[in-house]
Amino acid sequence: MKIAINGFGRIGRLYLRNALQEKNIEIIAINDLTDAKTLAHLFKYDSIHRAFNGEVSANEEHLIINGKKIKVFAQKDPESLPWKALNIDIVVECTGKYLDKAGAEKHIKAGAKKVLLSAPAKDESIRTVVIGVNDELLQKDDLIVSNASCTTNCAAPMLKVLQQFGIEEAYITTVHSYTSDQRLQDAPHKDLRRARAAAMSIIPTSTGAAKAITRIFPDLAGKIGGCGMRVPVPDGSLTDITCVLKQYPTVEQINAAYKKAAAGDLKGILEYTEDPIVSIDVIGNKHSVLYDAEFTSIVGNLVKIIGWYDNEWGYCNRMVELTQKMGN
What residues are annotated to the active site?
Answer: 150
Could you tell me where the DSSP H helices lie in the chain? 10-19, 36-44, 101-109, 150-162, 209-216, 251-263, 313-327
Q: How do strand 237-245 and strand 167-177 relate by DSSP bridges?
A: antiparallel
Distances (CA, A) of 273 to 262, 268, 280, 291, 310: 10, 14, 15, 6, 15
For β-strands 270-273 and 289-292, DSSP reports them as: parallel
Closest CA to 246 of 303, 160, 165, 304: 165
Rounded CA separation 94/199 (Å) = 24
Contact by Cβ (8 Å): 293, 274? yes
| Cα 270 to Cα 266: distance, rounded to the nearest angstrom | 6
Which residue type sits at 313?
W
CA pair distance 80, 241, nearest whole angstrom = 44
d(CA 261, CA 271): 9
φ and ψ at 313, to 5 degrees?
-70, -45
